[in-house]
Amino acid sequence: MISREQIETEARAKMIWGEPKEAVYSYLRTQGLPVAEAKALLAELQAERTSEVRAAGVRNIILGVSLIIAPFAFWFISAFLIGRIYLYVLAATIIGAFYGLVKLIDGIKSVAAPNSDASDLSQE
């Protein structure tokens, strides 16, 4: 029989890897945890995962907004401070802004509905 600490570590890893909470609950029960303890640990792990998903969402929102602002900042600096607009660099920042829009949308979804994200958090 493995220790309770090892069981918690394995369950935490399963939650971070994006396994459904039913599978994690089943794992906890097969390892011999009573129903009440398994449910309490599952709720704690779900709260940790929710917190991590929201934190990743906030990071994505900050990155997205920064990338969306970049073309405007570059245009302002180029046009008014330097006096010349470099079109290739402006085009690159515009392409980056589209990626920023995707990150912004992902971040908003993660913050608004963290339990709908079943992805692997170890990749964040």
Going from N- to C-terminal start, the domains of the chain cover 4-114
Q: How many CA atoms lie within 13 A of 35 on its CB side?
A: 0
User: What is the pLDDT at residue 114?
Assistant: 85
Residue with tokens 């046009």, as numbered in its chain: 79
Answering whether pTM is above 0.85, one says: no
Task: Give the mean pLDDT of 84-97.
Answer: 92
Instruction: Determine the Cα–Cα distance for residues 69 and 77; give it in Å rounded to an integer.
Output: 12
Mean pLDDT of the chain: 89
